[in-house]
């Protein structure tokens, strides 16, 4: 422990010596509508945006909004009103006091040293179809603020109640899940879960380091990332962000995942009651982003999931290639399974006005020598391609996105080393051996009002169990979707109106058809052919 204390002290001392400028860092939840506005502005060519890594910090968002002031003359009336709307919130980061047209807050305070914001969280969603009804309610609160020029903090607590499990780890739904607790009442069973998120951060002019319990997403997408998707419950991690020059970004995380694999060596009984302990499980990941030309970002990185041991110092060095470190710790011979390591890339181009082209890839296993050999099945990858066209016709946005994930991607032969936390995959929500086509049209007639029409076709093939050959678990031998195990079509319409900052009403109709392993992959509420009508409201995140 003394070694770790000295190492942490040295890191803090170095960071302190580097800091010379303003750098308060509070991260904005990815559910905020400001992400969509910044994406539209980047597609127009008014700002430059590395959209492969989310969430953004509030100071980053504020700076981009301030930058957009110079493009106001090119904006439509709706876009101008949206800029004014978001500045009501993010001028907190730009203005030295409270003397500006400010959004509604439960409590807001700011002086030369200290700032503090507190807001409630509450809302509900009621969904109805021929299979019954499901009500989801949530309530809680959030705070965030800063002390001095470098320290910032945030906390967000949301308690959830569900009438039925419709977001569980085994279901193929593109929604964040929770660590559920089932309660029995007079009116039947009820599912509850709470989510505590937050961070403490230290920022400087060209970077920040944070201790966080939150979700993050890596990989450009409009319907679910295939690198890190943030579908799992939040977990704690160290987050390092570095942006020393305009053409280079670096991101690194070291996370404490939840394995939910019982450590049998540490099971104890106290007064006849079993106290269980999960096996330790960690994640280290980095992403380098280079912009060789304006509005073009090329990102690449790697990650490793390791378990059953203490934190390894080699995985704490942010810019390492972790597979090579794994060879040092676990051996590189043919009979050594090692840790679960991955590589990934992301390409984002907005060089043509109004058009965003992007692609991302996740590589679990790849054999270059067998890449073109039809008899081999060793390339375990997920690929995503997409495009978004903004305002070719005013206020209209079109999106097309295709994702293909080969067999065995996101899986691992050792249960405690899977690419998952709380049994939720960290990758694309459909998992391995699956493909998805997503088409969407959005119309934004006035500030805060969206009309969305979308079509999603998702197909999943059968999962293959591990084969053991000569004592080594194998992952090859299965073609892409040899047999369709599950199929879903969704035609959806949704309208959303953000009445005040972070407060909106929504209404949605979905016509869906689900076939195949319905009980395994689909909540009972959505099984078969259904027309689901949903509506509700939300305050806060």
pLDDT tens, residue by residue, 140-182: 999 999 999 999 999 999 999 999 899 999 999 999 998 888 7
537 CB-near residues (< 8 Å, 6+ apart) = 123, 124, 503, 504, 505, 506
Q: For residue 170, what pLDDT is reported?
A: 92
Per-residue confidence band for 379, with pLDDT thresholds at 50, 70 and 90: confident
β-sheet bridge partners, residue 239:
210, 253
Other C-beta atoms closer than 10 Å to the C-beta of 107 total 9
Per-residue pLDDT averaged across 359-374, rounded?
A: 69
Q: For residue 10, what pLDDT is reported?
A: 43
Residue whose entry in the numeric block shows the structure tokens 């394995």 = 259
Maximum Cα interatomic distance, the chain, rounded to a whole number of Å: 73
Six token digits for residue 510: 């979905």
Six token digits for residue 336: 């050594």
84-139 residue pLDDT tens: 999 999 999 999 888 899 999 999 999 999 999 999 999 999 999 999 999 999 99
Mean pLDDT across the chain:
89
Report the CATH architecture of 2-539.
Beta Barrel (2.40)
Distance, CA of 256 to CA of 315 (rounded, Å): 13
Residue 397 has pLDDT above 50, yes or no: yes
Other C-beta atoms closer than 10 Å to the C-beta of 70 total 10
Per-residue pLDDT averaged across 41-51, rounded?
A: 97
Among 16, 78, 86, CA closest to 58: 86
Higher pLDDT, 179 or 254: 254
Residue whose entry in the numeric block shows the structure tokens 């904005």 = 28
Six token digits for residue 221: 């997408």
520-530 residue pLDDT tens: 899 999 999 99
Backbone angles phi, psi at 388, to 5 degrees: -135, 130
Q: Are 210 and 248 in contact (CB under 8 A)?
A: no
Q: Are 177 and 169 in contact (CB under 8 A)?
A: yes
Residue 5 has pLDDT above 50, yes or no: no
Six token digits for residue 25: 């860092």
284-321 residue pLDDT tens: 999 999 999 999 999 999 999 999 888 999 999 999 99
Per-residue pLDDT averaged across 257-283, rounded?
A: 81
Distance, CA of 35 to CA of 91 (rounded, Å): 16
Dihedral class, residue 64 (left if φ above 0, else alpha if ψ from -120 to 50, else beta)? alpha
Distance, CA of 480 to CA of 406 (rounded, Å): 6
Cα 1 from chain centroid (whole Å):
33
Other C-beta atoms closer than 10 Å to the C-beta of 301 total 23
Residue 336 has pLDDT above 80, yes or no: no
Per-residue pLDDT averaged across 439-455, rounded?
A: 98
Distance, CA of 225 to CA of 387 (rounded, Å): 14
Higher pLDDT, 179 or 385: 385
């Amino acid at each position: 422990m003394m070694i770790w204390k000295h190492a942490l002290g040295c890191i803090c001392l170095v960071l302190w010596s580097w800091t010379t400028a303003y750098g308060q860092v509070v991260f904005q939840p990815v559910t905020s509508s400001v992400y969509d506005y910044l994406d539209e502005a980047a597609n127009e060519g008014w700002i430059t945006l590395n959209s492969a890594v989310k969430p953004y910090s509030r100071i980053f968002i504020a700076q981009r909004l301030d930058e957009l002031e110079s493009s106001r003359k090119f904006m439509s009336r709706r876009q101008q009103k949206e800029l004014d709307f978001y500045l009501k919130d993010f001028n907190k980061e730009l203005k030295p006091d409270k003397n500006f047209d400010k959004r509604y807050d439960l409590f807001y305070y700011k002086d030369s040293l200290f700032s503090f914001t507190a807001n409630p969280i509450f809302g509900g969603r009621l969904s109805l179809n021929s299979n019954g009804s499901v009500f989801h309610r949530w309530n809680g609160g959030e705070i965030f603020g800063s002390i001095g020029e470098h320290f910032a903090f945030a906390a967000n607590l949301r308690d959830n109640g569900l009438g039925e499990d419709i977001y569980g780890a085994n279901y193929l739904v593109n929604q964040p899940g929770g660590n559920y607790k089932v309660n029995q009442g007079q009116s039947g069973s009820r599912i509850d879960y709470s989510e505590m998120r937050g961070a403490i951060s230290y920022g400087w002019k060209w970077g920040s380091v944070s201790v966080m319990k939150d979700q993050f997403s890596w990989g450009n997408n409009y319907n679910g990332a295939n690198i890190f998707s943030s579908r799992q419950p939040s977990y704690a991690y160290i987050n390092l962000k570095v942006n020393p020059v305009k053409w280079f970004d670096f991101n690194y995380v070291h996370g404490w995942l939840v394995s939910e694999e019982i450590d049998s060596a540490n099971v104890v009984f106290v007064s006849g009651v079993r106290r269980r302990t999960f096996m330790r499980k960690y994640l280290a990941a980095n992403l380098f982003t280079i912009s060789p030309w304006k509005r073009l970002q090329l990102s690449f990185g790697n990650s490793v999931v390791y378990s059953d041991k203490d934190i390894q110092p080699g995985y704490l060095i942010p810019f390492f290639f972790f597979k090579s470190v794994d060879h040092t710790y676990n051996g590189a011979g043919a009979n050594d399974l090692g840790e679960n390591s991955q590589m990934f890339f992301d390409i984002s181009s907005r060089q043509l006005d109004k058009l965003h082209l992007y692609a991302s890839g996740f590589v679990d296993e790849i054999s270059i020598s067998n890449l073109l050999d039809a008899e081999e099945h060793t390339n375990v990858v997920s690929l995503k391609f997409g495009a978004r066209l903004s305002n070719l016709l005013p206020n209209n946005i079109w999106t097309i996105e295709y994702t293909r994930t080969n067999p065995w991607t996101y899986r691992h032969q050792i249960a405690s080393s899977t690419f998952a936390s709380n049994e939720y995959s960290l990758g694309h929500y459909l998992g391995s051996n699956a493909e998805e086509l997503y088409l969407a049209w959005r119309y934004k007639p006035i500030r805060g009002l969206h009309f969305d029409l979308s079509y999603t076709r998702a197909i999943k093939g059968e999962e293959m169990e591990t084969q053991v050959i000569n004592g080594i678990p194998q992952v090859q031998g299965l073609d892409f979707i040899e047999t369709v195990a599950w199929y879903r079509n969704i035609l959806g319409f949704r309208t959303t109106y953000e009445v005040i900052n972070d407060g909106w009403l929504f209404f949605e109709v979905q016509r869906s058809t689900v076939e195949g392993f319905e009980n395994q992959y689909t909540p009972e509420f959505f099984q078969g052919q259904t027309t689901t009508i949903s509506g509700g409201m939300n305050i806060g995140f």
